[in-house]
Amino acid sequence: MKTYEQVLEKVELALAKGEYHYCIEFLLPIIESFPLSSKEGVNLRTILITALCGINKREEAKRFCKELLKSYDNKTRENAKYLMEVIDSPDIKKPENWNLQFESDPSLNKKSLNSPRKKREVLKKKKFINVTETPTGETKPFQKGFSLIIFLILLLLIPLLSGCVKIEDTLDLSELDSITNNLVIESKYIKKFPWQLKFEEKMKDIFPDAEIEQDESTFSLKHKNLNLEDTKQVLKITQNTAGELAGESTNIEINTTQKNFIFFKKYFYRLDLDLNSIKGIDNLELIFKIIHPNKAILTDKNNSNLEITKNLIIWDLNQGQINSLEFSFWSLNKLLIGITIILIIIILAYLLRFYRFKLGSDLPQLPSK
């Protein structure tokens, strides 16, 4: 008896070649050797049903489908139902316009086509492209005016593209007692604007102790280990300096409150950025990012300019208006939790010592006077 692997290899090869009759003749005598309860029997019967459908023997295919419907396996029964629906589906008559029909020229017969002379005449008449032997002349280069126009267009595009600036400020509140603020200004097309260079020089003078990195296209200013009041001051100075260079006044307000719940604290933040004086600056992208220690809750969840993930808020700022953001998050009261744990350890140590002394020990004791 042939093994399942040998049988499967033969029938799959026959099915791939379209030899349905051979597949059926090979499987029918041995199909009962593979019980329906086994995975091998189900696979071979499925192949047999496919071959029977290929030669339009639907009734026999239905018989094997009904056997599969009696299987204890849910997946096998579902596949059998699907196969039964395919077998019972009606034949759809194809419209005549789906088929291409080729009509031969009755004037051409085998005898005339066999003649070399007739072949040349037929080919000459069947030309589809209007071929002319008139020369078109040499290929002419572009005129000087065309090259000049292209050069002027490219020259005008360079300063236009160099104005695409991205300003991104990231406020890291992961450690509320050690806040980090990182300002990055990036020119997307290498060249910087004069106001960028002036702003960079002023920032260097105002914050000489900050971490500053710059190259041809970017400028980074990072402050570390700030408390909340210092953070507000840094943001205000940065905002006011940018407003002075823009020729108008801008402002930023940060209001914070907190509520204590013994072991937990809830922090409330509200940021208002007044950008009314900054209008119509094309290709200027302003982004404010806030990293928070725990999951934050936004007050205005329908604001399309806000994108919040697990520990990050991404805020796209709009020019010519006041941008507002309000959110809150929970934090552990680490000091109180630490004191409580120390007190519990001390109490447990005292109780253990007390009860141990009360129980006494099994060691012999000296006689008392």
Residue 146: phi, psi to the nearest 5? Answer: -65, -45
Specify which of 61-75, 170-184, 297-311, 326-340 reaches the highest per-range mean pLDDT.
Answer: 170-184
The model's pTM is 0.48
Structure tokens at 124: 């000459």
- How would you class 292 by CB atoms within 10 Å of its CB: exposed for 0-12, middle for 13-18, buried for 19 or more? buried
Query: Which pLDDT tens digit goes with each residue over 273-287?
Result: 888 777 766 667 888
Residue position matching structure tokens 């509200």? 270
Nearest CA to 163 among 127, 191, 128?
191
State the SS3 of 89-149: CCCCCCCHHHCCCCCCCCCCCHHHHCCHHHHHHHHHHCCCCCCCCCCCCCCCCCCHHHHHH
Task: Reply yes or no on whether the pLDDT at 74 is more than 60.
Answer: yes
Nearest CA to 325 among 305, 348, 351?
305
Task: Determine contact, residues 193/182, Cβ cutoff 8 Å.
Answer: no
Beta strands in 238-321 (DSSP E): 251-261, 264-274, 284-291, 297-298, 306-308, 312-316
Task: Determine contact, residues 159/182, Cβ cutoff 8 Å.
Answer: no
Task: Determine contact, residues 50/15, Cβ cutoff 8 Å.
Answer: yes
Query: Which pLDDT tens digit goes with each residue over 107-157?
Result: 544 444 455 555 555 455 544 455 555 555 556 665 666 666 776 676 655
**Confidence band for 92, pLDDT divided at 50, 70 and 90:** low
DSSP 236: H
Give the chain's domains with CATH numbers: 4-88 (1.25.40), 165-334 (no CATH)
Choice between 24 and 243, residue whose per-residue pLDDT is larger: 24
Residue 291: phi, psi to the nearest 5? Answer: -100, 120
Average pLDDT, the chain: 77
The CA-based dihedral angle spanning residues 190, 193, 199, 205, taken in that order and rounded to the nearest 10 degrees: 70
Choice between 155 and 180, residue whose per-residue pLDDT is larger: 180
Strands 218-226, 165-172: pairing is: unpaired
Amino acid identity of residue 257, one-letter, is T
Q: What is the mean pLDDT of residues 187-216?
A: 82
Nearest CA to 181 among 232, 138, 137, 144?
232
pLDDT of 111 reads: 45
